[in-house]
């Protein structure tokens, strides 16, 4: 559960607080470790790509 920006039961609950046509049950903690790993790897790669792009821009200047 994302305590800072979560929208499924932590900061707010989009699935219960708004009148949608469909109802969804949320089960916390499923595949938590796998999800954490995937997100960390994704953002690590994103930061690396941004740094490389900034370096390329600075080299051209």
Residue spans per domain, the chain: 1-30, 34-61
pLDDT attached to residue 1: 67
Stated pTM of the model: 0.61
| 13-53 pLDDT tens trace | 887 777 878 888 888 889 999 999 999 999 999 999 999 99
Assess whether pLDDT exceeds 70 at residue 59.
Answer: yes
pLDDT attached to residue 29: 87
pLDDT attached to residue 19: 81
Structure tokens at 29: 């903690």
Q: For residue 50, what are the CA distances in angstroms to 8, 43, 59? A: 30, 10, 14
């Amino acid at each position: 559960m994302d305590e800072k920006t979560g929208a499924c039961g932590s900061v707010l609950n989009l699935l219960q607080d708004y009148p949608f046509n469909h109802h969804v049950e949320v089960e916390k903690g499923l595949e938590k470790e796998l999800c954490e790993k995937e997100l960390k790897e994704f953002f690590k790669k994103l930061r690396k790509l941004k740094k490389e792009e900034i370096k390329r821009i600075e080299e051209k200047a």
